[in-house]
Structure 1
Amino acid sequence: MNRQKGIILVMVGAMFWGIGGTVSSRLFHEFDIDVNWLVTTRLLIAGIFLLTIQFFLKNRTQVFHVWKKKRVAIQLIIFGLLGMLAVQYTYMASINHGNAAVATLLQYLAPVMIIVYLIFRKQAVLTRIDVLTVFLALVGCFFLLTNGSISQLSVPIPAIIWGVLSGVSLAFYTLYAIPLLKQYDSLVIVGWAMVIGSIALSFVHPPWQIDLTSLTGEAYAYIVFVIIFGTMLAFWFYIESLQSLLAKEASLLGSTEPLAAVFTTVFWLKAPFGIFQWVGTACILLMIVLLAVKKDVPSPIEENIQNKKPLKIS
């Protein structure tokens, strides 16, 4: 029963992330919601929510103990700004300039970036699976962004730039989080990182500076969905699923996120998606599956998940 519960939780959580990206796209394009406001608001509320769970359901002493060590506090602030905030903002900016499908798929290039980084740092050995995953990532990106036409891009350049930066930010987020997650529960680190990121972005766009009276009931419903389902419950479900699933299982089942983002973008938002873009999507999804079932020394992503550390930040 625990295993079945874990499978359901990770799949539902990943679907919430994917659909949440598509709903955010609709908020940006149809209701003119400011990307800075949405990122600030969802991070602040979700961060407080995760810290509250830690305080009442887990080890409450860790919630504030993390600030008692100067070195850890500095690392946490860096993680919150250059990790959590960077990932959230670049991902949402990519959606704002393009769509959730492309933004999510580009973000999923992060594992390949980590592989390349570790090989250059001589912390990992290049394998045939690594070569194949990098090849699939490059081919997938080419078809996804060009739809098979070299002469023109089918995705706006700003969306591509922000999407690639989202992948880079996720790679940094994953690698930098390792020492912090070895010392404290994941809810504490992720929760405080969200709060730190939201406070920093509040100087650009405070969450209270928005005219909510001009929004329709539909817009309110979408905002609530992004904050509650696309952020808070998605994180919580993913974290809880790791109590009963192996790392590779969680990674593989988590691939429902890009699937949900692609299908809701194409069939709900009616975004144009050419045949070669579907081929590119298939290449990237195959890359995700290969990384999930890879049978060798765990990567930092797999190692963190194995140690019950949440890495999803979409």
Structure 2
Amino acid sequence: MLKGIFLIIGAATCWGMGGVAGQYLYQYHQADMIWLCMTRQILAGCMFLLFAAFVQKQDIFAILKADTWNIIEFSFLGILGAQLGFYYTIGLCNAATATVLQYMAPIYVMLWMSYKSRKIPDVRELIGIVGALVGVFLIATHGSLDSLAISPMALTIGVLSALSYAYYSIKPGQMLKKYTAATLIGWGQLISG
């Protein structure tokens, strides 16, 4: 359990550092967000696939034969939407706001799971949803009902990015029963890149 906690903390830290690095590259080196996102995805996809093939000894091409459309759908609607949406939102506002907007994804996952199970979220989950929505409201408006503190485009792309991230979390459920996460993420990153 302790190992899992450290892995989650490490993953969140790396994600945050990636957002800050992206913002730095946009502001001080005029990096193109599409180039940055695609380069990052292609390199990550290759690394995941090499790990799956040589360390996990997986047949990395099996997924392309049996689940072609599922991996393409996952790549573009999930990974590309989440990744490019996140970096595009950073370019429109900043890394902190983009991160908060994208981390609304668990709300969408929770609502989807409630719909699928025909069960209303429990009180703790509802409090979490309300808290997250209040936080996004405060970030987007700074508490004023008269105007937005971020551009409508940044808010829209950030919310769409969160929807893609939720899809990215839900879609691979069945595929993960047949393939390793490294294979699935590797092809998803490479194809969308």
Question: Match for 2:33: what amino acid?
Answer: V
Question: Match for 2:22: what amino acid?
Answer: S
Q: 2:76 aligns with which of 74, 81, 89?
A: 81
Structure 1 position 67 matched with structure 2 position 64: yes
Question: Match for 1:54: what amino acid?
Answer: A
What's the RMSD between the two structures over aligned residues? 1.6
Q: How many residues align?
A: 193
Secondary structure, counterpart of 2:150 in structure 1: coil
In 2, the alpha carbon distance for the partners of 1:19 and 1:178 equals 28
Superposition TM-score, scaled by structure 1 size: 0.58
Q: CA deviation at 1:10?
A: 3.3
Q: 2:30 aligns with which of 26, 29, 32?
A: 32
Q: CA deviation at 1:121?
A: 4.0
Deviations 1:273-292 (A, max 9, x none): xxxxxxxxxxxxxxxxxxxx
Q: CA deviation at 1:93?
A: 0.6
In 2, the alpha carbon distance for the partners of 1:108 and 1:126 equals 18
Secondary structure, counterpart of 2:174 in structure 1: helix
Deviations 1:214-233 (A, max 9, x none): xxxxxxxxxxxxxxxxxxxx
The equivalent of 2:165 in structure 1 is 170
The equivalent of 2:94 in structure 1 is 99
In 2, the alpha carbon distance for the partners of 1:8 and 1:37 equals 31
Greater helix percent: which structure? Answer: 2
Larger radius of gyration: 1
In 2, the alpha carbon distance for the partners of 1:121 and 1:92 equals 31
In 2, the alpha carbon distance for the partners of 1:15 and 1:173 equals 19
Gaps of 5+ in 2: none
Using the aligned pairs only, state the percent identity. 32
In 1, the alpha carbon distance for the partners of 2:12 and 2:122 equals 29
Structure 1 position 138 matched with structure 2 position 133: yes
Assess if the C-alpha contact under 8 Å between 1:115 and 1:124 holds in 2: no
The equivalent of 1:160 in structure 2 is 155
Assess if the C-alpha contact under 8 Å between 1:50 and 1:188 holds in 2: yes
CA change 1:55–1:164 in 2 (3 A) is same
